Chain A
């Protein structure tokens, strides 16, 4: 991503003088100076797609199976199946959907975050299945950061402050810190719907330091279904419909609350 931006910047910097020269020539068509051959420049890179995007992240993948049930169920397979079903349902509502993986690969945490950070108006939903918990319940999580130690304290022991924000730049590893409140609201909206669809689920979301969410520069929520133990592939796959409905409804309420705040 950075490389693309940098390449774009360099491209702009290199082509600007040529464009200026061309404009000058058009203004003075009588100039007889020898003309250099026209530059063969590549077309400019396509701008990033605009508009809201929902990034669905099926957790784990590849050699990282995630939770495993006694019946041979692997979290990585179930979450991919559920993510595909959720994508279809959300796409029917007209949302633009991106999957962080659509096969048995295992993108790094940074690659998963980058899938959301490439867009200006994204919402990141990571889908998990747990090893434990009451089967049939679902929990929504938003990221939780430790409170930064005051600088006066860190200066005495030589350690770095946790927040490294300077000149408006945010450290990649801390990107979610700016969105904790927004993610909390989104998680609560989704959890409220989940509590109605999945009996026994809590009514409020939970704060937890989920690694996948930390570098996401957008509202981000992890949703975990319980569990690979005590569930069948069919029962877990059947969760996709109500899960998609809860995600879709939660996102709508979240956007409405944002619009109300702007007004």
Chain B
């Protein structure tokens, strides 16, 4: 065999060995990155959807509005510890609304949604600030967006006295629409809309004590 050919074959063999080594290294790095991302996601939810417990918590039957069929929401009675403080009470209710729908079909808000902050102005205006997921993962359509907003508004008005209207923010900002259709630049009246149909009684573990499925 000519000397030049031997050298070329040697270089090629070396390149293949080096390629295999670096491929293994890349695979390992990808696995570590994926694990880190999952851990980061878990940590984010652990912080943002952390169980809310206050000294004034009392277990009561709350009415939480989930989807009841393809085009309406209806209340489901849930035993849940709720605070006497209206802000904490609202946060506990919205966490339960996001985390604990009785079935997948009754979900009204995307599972990845988190409530970033919630506060109440002196005139009774409730401000609910949700993460981007409420918008980016919401199925587009007047029907689905209206059901989502209705479930939030009706859940708050049925369980938190004194609220007059609701403003929804996404990632701390006022946005034009929820997912392209329902207007979020205005306010939603609370304690004025007719309450939907029949209440379905159900025992659901409280959001505060449950883990969020993602």
Is A146 a contact of B141 with CB atoms below 8 Å?
no
B140 contacts A208, C-beta separation under 8 Å: no
Contact status of A109 and B140, CB under 8 A, knowing A206-B146, A210-B182: no
Once the chains are docked, how many angstroms separate the CA of A211 from the CA of B180? 8
Chain A residues contacting B176 (CB-CB under 8 Å) are 109, 211
B152-187 vs A, CB cutoff 8 Å, 1 = contact: the mask equals: 000000000000110000000000110011110111
Among B139, B181, B189, residue most surrounded by chain A Cβ atoms (within 10 Å) = B181
Q: Which residues of A contact B180 (CB under 8 A)?
A: 59-60, 64, 66
A222 near B144 (CB under 8 angstroms)?
no
B39 interface residue per 8 A CB criterion: no
Q: B123, A157: Cβ atoms under 8 Å? A: yes
User: With A146-B165, A147-B189 as given contacts, are A134 and B71 in contact (CB-CB < 8 Å)?
Assistant: yes
- Tell me if B142 is interfacial: C-beta within 8 Å of chain A: yes
Residues of A within 8 A of B121 (CB): 157
Q: How far is the CB of A242 from chain B (nearest CB, A)?
A: 19
A220 to nearest B CB, angstroms? 13
- Given the known A-B contacts A67-B139, A132-B144, A211-B182, are A226 and B165 also in contact in the complex, defined by CB atoms under 8 Å? no
**In the bound complex, CA of A102 to CA of B105 (Å):** 36
Task: State whether B188 touches A131 (Cβ < 8 A).
Answer: no
Known: A133-B71, A146-B186. A139 touches B142 (CB 8 A): yes
- Within 8 Å by CB of A131, from B141, B164, B165, lies B141
- Residues of B close to A68: CB separation below 8 A: 140
Contact A208 B177 (CB under 8 A): no
A224-242: contact bitstring with B at CB < 8 Å (1 yes, 0 no)?
A: 1011000000000000000
Within 8 A of A (CB), among B63-96: 70-71
Q: Tell me, in angstroms, the Cα distance from A163 to B188 when the chains sit together.
A: 15
Enumerate chain A residues within 8 angstroms of B188, measured Cβ to Cβ.
146, 209
Contact B123 A149 (CB under 8 A): yes
Tell me the nearest residue of chain B to A223, going by C-beta: B142
Asked if residues B186 and A149 are in contact (CB atoms below 8 Å), the reply is: no
CB proximity to B under 8 Å, residues A125-151: 128-134, 137, 139, 141, 145-147, 149
Rounded to whole angstroms, the CA-CA distance of A214 and B71 in the bound complex is 23
Are B71 and A128 in touch, CB under 8 angstroms? no
Q: How far is the CA of A222 from the CA of B141 in the complex (A)?
A: 11
Asked whether, in the complex, the Cβ of A133 is within 8 Å of the Cβ of B143, the reply is: yes
Whether a CB of chain B sits under 8 angstroms from the CB of A26 is no
The answer to whether B25 has its CB under 8 Å from any CB of chain A is no
User: How many interface contacts (CB-CB < 8 Å) are there between A and B?
Assistant: 95
- Is the Cβ of B183 less than 8 Å from the Cβ of A67? no
Task: Tell me whether A14 is interfacial, beta carbon within 8 Å.
Answer: no
A77 to B186, CA, bound (A): 29
Query: Is B122 at the interface (CB under 8 A from chain A)?
Result: yes
Instruction: Select B142's contact among A64, A128, A147, A156, beta carbons within 8 Å.
Output: A128
Contacting residues of chain A (189-223) with chain B, CB-CB under 8 angstroms: 202, 206, 208-212, 214, 222
A residues less than 8 Å from B4 (CB atoms): none
B24 part of interface (Cβ distance < 8 Å): no
Q: How far is the CA of A173 from the CA of B139 in the complex (A)?
A: 26
- Name the B residues within 8 Å of A153 (CB-CB): 123
Residue of A nearest to B122 (CB): A157
Tell whether, in the assembled complex, residue A128 and residue B146 are in contact, meaning their CB atoms are under 8 Å apart: no
Query: Hey, which chain B residues are within 8 Å of A210, CB to CB?
Result: 142, 181-183
Q: Among A133, A153, A214, find the residue whose CB has the most chain B CB atoms closer than 10 A.
A: A133
In the complex formed, the residue of B with least CB distance to A202 is B71
CB neighbours (8 Å) of A188 from chain B are none
Residues in B with CB closer than 8 Å to A133 are: 70-71, 141, 143-144
Q: Are B139 and A224 in contact (CB under 8 A)?
A: no
In whole angstroms, what is the CA distance A85 to B18 when docked? 63
**A57 CB–B CB distance under 8 Å:** no
Known: A145-B186, A211-B183. 11 other contacts (CB 8 A): A67-B139, A109-B176, A131-B140, A132-B143, A139-B142, A139-B143, A146-B165, A147-B189, A157-B122, A209-B183, A211-B177
15 contacts between A and B (CB under 8 A): A68-B140, A130-B140, A130-B143, A130-B144, A133-B71, A139-B143, A146-B187, A146-B189, A147-B189, A154-B123, A162-B187, A208-B146, A211-B185, A212-B181, A224-B143
Chain A residues with CB under 8 Å of chain B are 59-60, 64, 66-68, 75, 109, 128-134, 137, 139, 141, 145-147, 149, 153-154, 156-157, 162, 173, 202, 206, 208-212, 214, 222, 224, 226-227
